[in-house]
Structure 1
Amino acid sequence: MGQVQRSIGRLLRAGQLFGVVPWNVKLGAGNVLDRGSFVGHVVRVANIFYSLGIILAVCIATGFHYYTFISSDFIAIRTLNISEDVTVNFIVMVSIIGCQFLRPFYTKFTTTIVTVGDELAAGGGTIDFHRIETIVQRALLGALLYFGAILVFDFLNGAAWPFRFLYRTVLYTLPNVINVLALYQYVVALGFVHTFYRTVNKRLMVLERNVSAADRRGNRTKVPATITGDVIAYDHHVALVEALRRTHLKISNLTGEVNDRFGALLVLTMLSSFVVLSLKLFELYRLMTIVRWSAATCILLLYTVLWIGLHVAKVLMVLYPCHVVQRERDRTGPMLYSFHHSFADNFLHNAVRPC
């Protein structure tokens, strides 16, 4: 669990650098600085001004983009560009301002995953925290390399350096970094949820196999079962299933809370990605109609493909975690709420069977 906390701590520090995580949030005990202290007030005020500075920079770049480039475009392209700029600005504001209201959620989420992890471990479950740690580390490294490649091609593709490069970085790259880091928090949260559902399912499958094996042995040997032995086994299995049900309810509530907290961001991300993908596909079609290619055209093509890949990845970051969590939850529900009767009837029958 300590390695997972270190990996998530790196994600939080990266988010704090770009304003999508409050500065006074930390993992572990006392994960939020005392609001009443002087240091806590200073950190909060500095965080607010820093966040407003990022939002203001993106808004200024957006206004410059409209009056310099968009206003003379074809009506369809202009509409798509305006839609992109509007959704990007909303994403930045929702990510940065919304994170300031997530302080209680960070505390509650950390407490819940520790509690659920302890309950599953007490019930015999094994949680693969190493897998979560690996996913978080690889996701951060992949994002760093991908945005680094985008900046390199943007630098090679730009004219009037450094003004155009800095302007495009603030207009395009910075908002997408903010968006991806905010989405990473959602992905990591659902990653824990998926791992917990998976652990519950594995524990239920082991329990079901044990009950089936005991039933087959009893039928094969035809040895009369004692009431004491069957009642003890019955009580043990009932207690375990009831504990798993309580844990399942906590996981389900946590899933709903995660989706509620990130719902607006997910909707805006999907809308923005579809708009940008439409623009980039138009750009890709235009590049494919060029007869004579140059080095600048090849760089622009690779740059366009990188942006297409980024927005496809963002769509997958929204859809895929929901899919895998829903799949595990659909497995958990029928197994958990129909399992009790299958073994309870068997043990009750054996317990009252005459010797």
Structure 2
Amino acid sequence: MGQVQRSIGRLLRVGQLFGVVPWNVKLGAGNMLDRGRFVGHVVRIANIFYSLGIILAVCIATGFHYYTFISSDFIAIRTLNISEDVTVNVIVMVSIIGCQFLRPFYTKFTTTIVTVGDELAAGGGTIDFHRIETIVQRALLGALLYFGAILVFDFLNGAAWPFRFLYRTVLYTLPNVINVLALYQYVVALGFVRTFYRTVNKRLMVLERNVSAADRRGNRTKVPATITGDVVAYDHHVALVEALRRTHLKISNLTGEVNDRFGALLVLTMLSSFVVLSLKLFELYRLMTIVRWSPAECILLLYTVLWIGLHVAKVLMVLYPCHLVQRERDRTGPMLYSFHHSFADNFLHNAVRPF
């Protein structure tokens, strides 16, 4: 579990660099920063000014973009550009300002995943935290490398360097880095939730096989003193089902809290990606009408494809984790119905029913 906490801490440090994670965040009760009250206030004030500086830089770049480029565009393109700028600025504000209110959530989330992980381990469940750590690290590294590629093509595509390059970086790349890092926290949170649901379902499958085997042996009137097979942590079926039910309820509550915390960001991200994809598809169509290609236009084509890929990935970051969590959650009910309905042990019946 310590490996996963280190990976989450690394993700949060990258987020702190771009203002989407508070500087004095605390990961669990055992990791609270031992700072004096004065130092804590200084850190918070510095964090606020740093965050406001990022927001101000993006807003200035947006205003310059409107008065220099957008005002002369065709009305349909101008409307899409204005919509993009508005949604991007709102996303930056929601991500940076909203993170300041998530300090208690970071502590509670870390404490909850440690507690749930311990409960599942006590029930015989196995969670590959090393695999989770590897996925978190590789996905974060892949996102940073992708933005590095965008910066390289933006540099090659730019004129009047360094002003235009810096301006486009603040206007386009920086807000999307902020958006992706904020979304990535949501993806990691739902990744833990999905893993926990999956582990609960695996334990229920083992329990169902164990009970069915005992039933076939004619032991329906006597519950074994110890559970055989893979379920080794409990000496009674009822105790295991009750523990899994309580853990399942904790996971369900955690899922709702994660969705509540990131709900506004998810809606704004979908809206922004829809607008940007429309713009980039228009740009792609315009490039496809060119008869004689130059190196600059080839670079612009690759640059456009990179942005399309980024926004498709953002849409998937919103939708796919929800799909995985819902699929694991929906498996629990049918799995419980697959249990034999003629248990002689009424206590086991009563333990399964509240699930």
TM-score of the alignment, normalized to the shorter chain, above 0.5: yes
Shift in alpha-carbon separation, 1:318–1:221, aligned structure 2, 3 A:
closer
Report what 1:323 is aligned to: 323
Shift in alpha-carbon separation, 1:117–1:293, aligned structure 2, 3 A:
same
Q: Distance in 2 between matches of 1:152 and 1:344?
A: 69
Q: Deviations over 1:13-35 (max 9, x none)?
A: 00000000000014344545468
Q: Deviations over 1:281-338 (max 9, x none)?
A: 0000000000110000000000000000000000000000000000000012343477
What is the aligned residue count?
Answer: 355
Q: Distance in 2 between matches of 1:320 and 1:227?
A: 37
Shift in alpha-carbon separation, 1:38–1:111, aligned structure 2, 3 A:
same
Q: Distance in 1 between matches of 2:9 and 2:265?
A: 22
Structure with higher Rg: it is 1
Shift in alpha-carbon separation, 1:36–1:229, aligned structure 2, 3 A:
closer
Residue 241 of structure 2 corresponds to residue 241 of structure 1: yes
Shift in alpha-carbon separation, 1:117–1:290, aligned structure 2, 3 A:
same
Shift in alpha-carbon separation, 1:69–1:210, aligned structure 2, 3 A:
same
344-353 or 132-141: bigger deviation: 344-353
RMSD after superposition: 4.7
Check the 8 A contact 1:234/1:347 in 2, yes or no.
no
Shift in alpha-carbon separation, 1:350–1:244, aligned structure 2, 3 A:
closer
Query: Following TM superposition, by how much is the alpha carbon of 1:254 offset from its aligned partner in structure 2, in angstroms?
Result: 0.2
Q: Deviations over 1:91-141 (max 9, x none)?
A: 000000000000010111011111111111111111121221121011111
Q: Distance in 1 between matches of 2:83 and 2:204?
A: 48
Q: Which runs of 4+ in 1 moved over 2 A?
A: 26-36, 217-235, 333-355
Shift in alpha-carbon separation, 1:227–1:67, aligned structure 2, 3 A:
closer
Higher helix share: 1
Check the 8 A contact 1:227/1:351 in 2, yes or no.
no
Unaligned runs of 5+ in 1: none
48-57 or 29-38: bigger deviation: 29-38
Query: Following TM superposition, by how much is the alpha carbon of 1:238 offset from its aligned partner in structure 2, in angstroms?
Result: 1.2
Query: Following TM superposition, by how much is the alpha carbon of 1:218 offset from its aligned partner in structure 2, in angstroms?
Result: 2.5
Shift in alpha-carbon separation, 1:342–1:258, aligned structure 2, 3 A:
farther
Q: Deviations over 1:189-236 (max 9, x none)?
A: 000000000000000001111111122223899999999999999981
Check the 8 A contact 2:234/2:240 in 1, yes or no.
no
Shift in alpha-carbon separation, 1:250–1:294, aligned structure 2, 3 A:
same
Shift in alpha-carbon separation, 1:342–1:166, aligned structure 2, 3 A:
farther
Query: Following TM superposition, by how much is the alpha carbon of 1:167 offset from its aligned partner in structure 2, in angstroms?
Result: 0.1
Report what 1:107 is aligned to: 107
* SS of the residue 2:291 aligns to: coil
Check the 8 A contact 2:238/2:347 in 1, yes or no.
no
Where in structure 2 are the equivalents of 1:64-83 lying within 5 Å? Answer: 64-83=64-83
Check the 8 A contact 2:119/2:247 in 1, yes or no.
yes
Check the 8 A contact 1:62/1:85 in 2, yes or no.
yes
217-226 or 82-91: bigger deviation: 217-226
Query: Following TM superposition, by how much is the alpha carbon of 1:58 offset from its aligned partner in structure 2, in angstroms?
Result: 0.2
Q: Deviations over 1:143-202 (max 9, x none)?
A: 111000000000000000000000000000000000000001000000000000000000
Report what 2:267 is aligned to: 267
Q: Distance in 2 between matches of 1:109 and 1:352?
A: 27
Q: Distance in 2 between matches of 1:306 and 1:348?
A: 55
20-29 or 56-65: bigger deviation: 20-29
Unaligned runs of 5+ in 2: none
Check the 8 A contact 1:153/1:303 in 2, yes or no.
yes
Q: Deviations over 1:235-262 (max 9, x none)?
A: 8111111111111000000000000000
Shift in alpha-carbon separation, 1:349–1:140, aligned structure 2, 3 A:
closer
* SS of the residue 2:292 aligns to: coil
Check the 8 A contact 1:24/1:32 in 2, yes or no.
no
Shift in alpha-carbon separation, 1:343–1:69, aligned structure 2, 3 A:
farther
Query: Following TM superposition, by how much is the alpha carbon of 1:74 offset from its aligned partner in structure 2, in angstroms?
Result: 0.3
**TM-score normalised according to structure 2 size:** 0.91
Q: Distance in 2 between matches of 1:99 and 1:227?
A: 46
* SS of the residue 1:35 aligns to: coil
Check the 8 A contact 1:238/1:340 in 2, yes or no.
no
Q: Deviations over 1:28-82 (max 9, x none)?
A: 4454546861110010000000000000000000000000000000000000000
148-157 or 215-224: bigger deviation: 215-224
Check the 8 A contact 1:231/1:347 in 2, yes or no.
no
209-218 or 173-182: bigger deviation: 209-218
Check the 8 A contact 1:9/1:26 in 2, yes or no.
no
Q: Distance in 2 between matches of 1:209 and 1:280?
A: 53
Check the 8 A contact 1:55/1:92 in 2, yes or no.
yes
**TM-score normalised according to structure 1 size:** 0.91
Where in structure 2 are the equivalents of 1:203-218 lying within 5 Å? Answer: 203-218=203-218
Query: Following TM superposition, by how much is the alpha carbon of 1:5 offset from its aligned partner in structure 2, in angstroms?
Result: 1.1
Check the 8 A contact 2:24/2:40 in 1, yes or no.
yes
Check the 8 A contact 1:230/1:347 in 2, yes or no.
no
* SS of the residue 2:217 aligns to: helix
